[in-house]
Amino acid sequence: MNLHDLIRELREPTGGKIVLLVADGLGGLPLLLGGKTELETARTPHLDTLACEGVCGLSLPVLPGITPGSGPGHLGLFGYDPLQYRIGRGVLEALGINFQVTPRDVAIRGNFCTVDADGLITDRRAGRPSTERCIAMCQKLAAIRVPGVEVFVEPVREHRFVLVLRGDGLGDRVNDTDPQATGVKPLPAAGEDDASQRTAEAANQFLAEAARVLKDDAPTNMATLRGFARYPQIATMQDIYGLKSTAIAVYPMYKGLARLVGMDIADAGSTLSDQVATLQKVWPQYDFFFMHYKYTDSTGEDGNFAAKVEKIEQLDAVIPQIRDLNPDVLIVTGDHSTPSKLKSHSWHPVPVVLWAKSCRSDGFSKFSESQCRTGGLGQFQAMYLMSLAMAHAGRFGKYGA
Amino acid sequence: MNLHDLIRELREPTGGKIVLLVADGLGGLPLLLGGKTELETARTPHLDTLACEGVCGLSLPVLPGITPGSGPGHLGLFGYDPLQYRIGRGVLEALGINFQVTPRDVAIRGNFCTVDADGLITDRRAGRPSTERCIAMCQKLAAIRVPGVEVFVEPVREHRFVLVLRGDGLGDRVNDTDPQATGVKPLPAAGEDDASQRTAEAANQFLAEAARVLKDDAPTNMATLRGFARYPQIATMQDIYGLKSTAIAVYPMYKGLARLVGMDIADAGSTLSDQVATLQKVWPQYDFFFMHYKYTDSTGEDGNFAAKVEKIEQLDAVIPQIRDLNPDVLIVTGDHSTPSKLKSHSWHPVPVVLWAKSCRSDGFSKFSESQCRTGGLGQFQAMYLMSLAMAHAGRFGKYGA
């Protein structure tokens, strides 16, 4: 039986309020074997109280050994099997710049590149132009018209932009035109089915025009396209869980991921204290609150152990304000690990604490990877976390008589 | 590969004896966050010895966050995926009153209700009549004849009864006739396929006769039907495991669940010491013994923490008599948790101890939820417990060369 069908069958029409606080990339590693992780180094009295009163564990974002991107990491936390629901690169790129993708869109990641007089690629990233130049070039491309589709071109940064083709019956089974090599021409786009062939033809027309429009703009005198992706058909959180949900996130990517599963997007400001103020403001209106904290990931990506420790401590400091709202279920976890030692996302299981009155408390002294290892939640796939939240919020009936 | 096919492939023709002692609803919660559960409070020297010598863990009856009824809870313990094998409400209700459902039956839960002169329902439970009145009304209904099917009507209690339609080619995809509302007429039964349409027509004929027979018996002057269910097609324990199995249970529901998977039903008496005496008596004849103890669940459902503690202690006291029989594998667990704090079944993982000479002993000091959390069995789906029992009983060969 499908997990979402089971949830639809068991869910109650009412129940408690759930806060899911995601510290992006929370899990870490010690710099030296046997040392302490970032979370273990940080002074986190409020998280430690949660780990004492609540129930802890380690979550696997996808499967053992699999490092997720932000898309699968968050889909798992929202209770969607990240192996079943895939978000294409084009759509993620569009979400990341706050472009509101619609079901009629195919979103595509574009790269400015340099071609020689014969049209052979000499630099796949066009010498990494400034973002200002990227913006100017995108304005030129945005003027291109393709019959039968609407065209949107939005800058990202440096050589990167987003192309969105909007129209009816467009498929996304289209190859990348980036040949991943220099000294060769960009590949023509081709579709694997009729709908995708329509997209490919529109893309080829766009690229032919782009070559014309950009021809005097070397090194940004051509573009390649990658990651053709339609907006995935995903049942909303409302439909699955019956939860009125809102996202309190600062970065566009996470707002976009939340919008993808049907959450309302709160005006969250730009700082953690703005986010907490927003949470307080919208508290009466929702059942489920997804709060996203970016800096545990970005400091990890920077390889800055001390900064990640500091960001964890800053997050810890707002826990009392969240608890003051009396959530029925408060979960703190990450969408994946980002050990500063590795300067990247990783596959290591992610510490989780779930606090609710119906907890079998672990009584831990510290919220840490090493204590979470023996927590009452065990080691589990992230996609089951929402079911636990629903149960503790009194939102599930009994399965079978 | 299907789990049961794997088991059939690996099983040996002979091996040791397995005792599965199910303390219904065993898992609990502390009354206050951070306190002790019922099991942790109970004085259980014999279970503690098992937890020291044996291997412990926490079992998930279905999936994280899912609270099972008795049916799915026991199917899981018997090694059947409770999401794949579903037992309809009608069948469970029939099992609960010791009605021997056959593969030709559709079992249905009936409710006496009150209707006004226009046939509109005024009370869906007929003012909760006495069980005596329920018995008398069922005698009237039992006289109804429907062409082509045999009709059985058996009282449960108050407004509840069981209707069984026995015949060839009867389906169970039939809607409830209970409209779940007052001021409206009962719904007609309709089948989703030909076989179910035959059942629906028989049910409608039965209900038309019931209206006539009961018309002067207000408030019990009509009936509604719910949970149409055929006896599920389930391979027996003998077929899957090659085990000669018997159930030593006091309550009809659990005898019925055991019969469903092909166990013999021992005459178990009515007390725990009767059950132990039965176990001793039938010991030579079987490979697998399912012993069911109800009172850890019923005291939990009553919200009586102290009584649940006492019932656990009473169960502990018979462990030596069971061990005296020298079982090769002795498992003590529950089919789900029933924390007296919640007065209901719950989703919390269930403590398990498995004792066998081939154990990697956990060396625990106490059989408790908190120690089981770090046991050698980890946290696992209940449906795998039987495979562990088979292995420790020397009943599994090697998979692959």
- Among residues B175, B179, B210, the alpha carbon closest in space to that of B196 is found at B175
Residue A397 and residue A377: Cα distance in Å, rounded?
20
- Taking 90 as the threshold, does the pLDDT of residue A96 lie above it? no
Strands B105-115 and B222-230: antiparallel
Residue B1 binned pLDDT confidence (cut-offs 50, 70, 90):
confident
pLDDT, tens digit (0-9, with 9 covering 90-100), for A120-164? 999 999 999 999 999 999 999 999 999 999 999 999 989 999 999
Residue A303 and residue B384: Cα distance in Å, rounded?
42
Closest Cα in chain A, distance from residue B18 (Å)? 27
Mutate to test the interface with B, among A12, A358, A398 (most CBs of B within 10 A): A398
Q: How many alpha carbons lie under 13 Å from residue B273 in its C-beta half-sphere? A: 2
Cβ atoms within 10 Å, residue A29? 21
- CB-based contact, A3 to chain B, within 8 Å: yes
Residue A81 binned pLDDT confidence (cut-offs 50, 70, 90):
very high
Q: Are A108 and A225 in contact (CB under 8 A)?
A: yes
- Taking 90 as the threshold, does the pLDDT of residue B206 lie above it? yes
Nearest to A401 among B65, B89, B373 (CB): B89
Q: How many alpha carbons lie under 13 Å from residue B10 in its C-beta half-sphere? A: 20
Residue A299 and residue A281: Cα distance in Å, rounded?
29
3-state secondary structure of B30: coil
- CB-based contact, B345 to chain A, within 8 Å: yes
Cα torsion B241, B242, B246, B252: sign:
positive
pTM for the full predicted model: 0.91
Q: What is the pLDDT of residue B149?
A: 97
Which residue ranges form the domains of chain B, and what is each CATH number?
3-86+234-392 (3.40.720.10), 91-230 (no CATH)
| Residue whose tokens read 């629903």 | A390
- CB-based contact, B108 to chain A, within 8 Å: no
Residue A91 and residue A132: Cα distance in Å, rounded?
23
Q: What is the pLDDT of residue A284?
A: 98
**Interchain contact, B30 vs A375, CB within 8 Å:** no
- CB-based contact, A397 to chain B, within 8 Å: yes
**No. of helices (H) and no. of strands (E), chain A:** 14, 13
Residue type, B387: S
pLDDT, tens digit (0-9, with 9 covering 90-100), for A229-240? 998 889 999 999
- Chain A positions in Cβ-Cβ contact with residue B227 (cut-off 8 Å): 401
- Taking 90 as the threshold, does the pLDDT of residue B286 lie above it? yes
Residue A289 binned pLDDT confidence (cut-offs 50, 70, 90):
very high
pLDDT, tens digit (0-9, with 9 covering 90-100), for B292-306? 999 999 999 999 999
- Chain A positions in Cβ-Cβ contact with residue B71 (cut-off 8 Å): 400-401
- Taking 90 as the threshold, does the pLDDT of residue B401 lie above it? no
- Contacting B residues, span 178-237, partner chain A, CB-CB under 8 Å: 227
Residue, of B233 and B174, whose pLDDT is higher: B174
pLDDT, tens digit (0-9, with 9 covering 90-100), for B81-116? 999 999 988 998 898 888 989 999 999 999 999 999
- Chain B positions in Cβ-Cβ contact with residue A375 (cut-off 8 Å): 373
3-state secondary structure of A55: strand
Residue B164 and residue B154: Cα distance in Å, rounded?
8
**Interchain contact, B67 vs A397, CB within 8 Å:** yes
pLDDT, tens digit (0-9, with 9 covering 90-100), for B303-329? 999 999 999 999 999 999 999 999 999
Tell me the ipTM for this assembly. Answer: 0.90
**Interchain contact, B374 vs A376, CB within 8 Å:** no
- Taking 90 as the threshold, does the pLDDT of residue A262 lie above it? yes
Residue A383 binned pLDDT confidence (cut-offs 50, 70, 90):
very high
Q: Are A83 and A359 in contact (CB under 8 A)?
A: no
User: What is A233-290 written as a DSSP string?
Assistant: ----HHHHH---EEEE-SSHHHHHHHHHTT-EE----SSHHHHHHHHHHHGGG-SEEE
- CB-based contact, B104 to chain A, within 8 Å: no
pLDDT, tens digit (0-9, with 9 covering 90-100), for B343-354? 999 999 999 999
Q: What is the pLDDT of residue B98?
A: 86
Q: What is the pLDDT of residue B207?
A: 97
**Interchain contact, B62 vs A380, CB within 8 Å:** no
The beta strands (E) that lie in A2-138 are given as 18-23, 55-60, 105-115, 121-123
Nearest to B71 among A375, A388, A400 (CB): A400
- CB-based contact, A329 to chain B, within 8 Å: no
**Interchain contact, A358 vs B373, CB within 8 Å:** no
Residue B121 and residue B112: Cα distance in Å, rounded?
11
- Contacting B residues, span 60-89, partner chain A, CB-CB under 8 Å: 62-72, 82-84, 86-87, 89
**Interchain contact, A388 vs B349, CB within 8 Å:** no
Q: Are A107 and A93 in contact (CB under 8 A)?
A: yes
Residue A59 and residue A346: Cα distance in Å, rounded?
13
Closest Cα in chain A, distance from residue B117 (Å)? 34
Q: What is the pLDDT of residue B33?
A: 86
Q: B273-292 as b/e, with b when 16 or more CB fall inside 10 Å? A: eebbebbeebeeebbbbbbb
With a CB cutoff of 8 Å and minimum separation 6, the contacts of B71 are: A400, A401, B82, B86, B87, B92, B257
**Interchain contact, A378 vs B374, CB within 8 Å:** no
Strands B105-115 and B160-166: antiparallel
Q: What is the pLDDT of residue A345?
A: 97
**Interchain contact, A378 vs B379, CB within 8 Å:** yes
- Taking 80 as the threshold, does the pLDDT of residue A1 lie above it? no
Residue B34 binned pLDDT confidence (cut-offs 50, 70, 90):
confident
Q: What are phi and psi of A138, to 5 degrees?
A: -65, -35
Q: What is the pLDDT of residue B72?
A: 97
Mutate to test the interface with B, among A360, A372, A392 (most CBs of B within 10 A): A360
**Interchain contact, A398 vs B65, CB within 8 Å:** no
The beta strands (E) that lie in B90-221 are given as 105-115, 121-123, 150-157, 160-166
What is the distance of C-alpha A212 from the center of its chain? Answer: 36
pLDDT over 70, % of chain B = 100
Strands A105-115 and A222-230: antiparallel
- Chain B positions in Cβ-Cβ contact with residue A399 (cut-off 8 Å): 62, 66-69, 72, 82
| Mean of per-residue pLDDT scores for chain B | 96
Burial zone of B128 (CB within 10 Å; 0-12 exposed, 13-18 middle, 19+ buried): middle
Cα angle at B329 between B323 and B330, to 5 degrees? 50
- CB-based contact, A13 to chain B, within 8 Å: no
Q: Phi/psi zone of residue A103: left (φ > 0), alpha (ψ -120 to 50 degrees), beta?
A: alpha
- Contacting B residues, span 271-290, partner chain A, CB-CB under 8 Å: none
**Interchain contact, B33 vs A53, CB within 8 Å:** yes
- Taking 90 as the threshold, does the pLDDT of residue B48 lie above it? yes
Residue B335 binned pLDDT confidence (cut-offs 50, 70, 90):
very high
- Chain A positions in Cβ-Cβ contact with residue B34 (cut-off 8 Å): 52-53, 361, 363
**Interchain contact, A380 vs B69, CB within 8 Å:** no
Q: Are A102 and A164 in contact (CB under 8 A)?
A: no
Cis peptide before A68 (omega within 30 of 0): no
Cα torsion A127, A128, A129, A130: sign:
negative
Q: What is the pLDDT of residue A157?
A: 87
Both tokens assigned to B371: 């120690």
Residue A401 binned pLDDT confidence (cut-offs 50, 70, 90):
confident
Angle between helices B272-282 and B305-323 (to 10 degrees): 20
Strands B18-23 and B329-333: parallel
- Among residues B172, B204, B209, B207, the alpha carbon closest in space to that of B189 is found at B204
3-state secondary structure of A121: strand
- Chain B positions in Cβ-Cβ contact with residue A378 (cut-off 8 Å): 58, 349, 373, 378-379
Closest residue in A to B96 (Cα) is A401
The CA-based diameter of chain A, rounded to the nearest angstrom, is: 74
Give whole-number Cα distances, B144 to B140, B163, B176, B177, in Å.
8, 11, 20, 18
- Chain B positions in Cβ-Cβ contact with residue A400 (cut-off 8 Å): 68-72, 82, 86-87, 92
User: What is A287-337 written as a DSSP string?
Assistant: SEEEEEE-HHHHHHHTT-HHHHHHHHHHHHHHHHHHHTT--SEEEEE-SSB
- What secondary structure letter does DSSP report for A11? B
**No. of helices (H) and no. of strands (E), chain B:** 14, 13
Q: What is the pLDDT of residue B152?
A: 97
Q: What is the pLDDT of residue A98?
A: 86
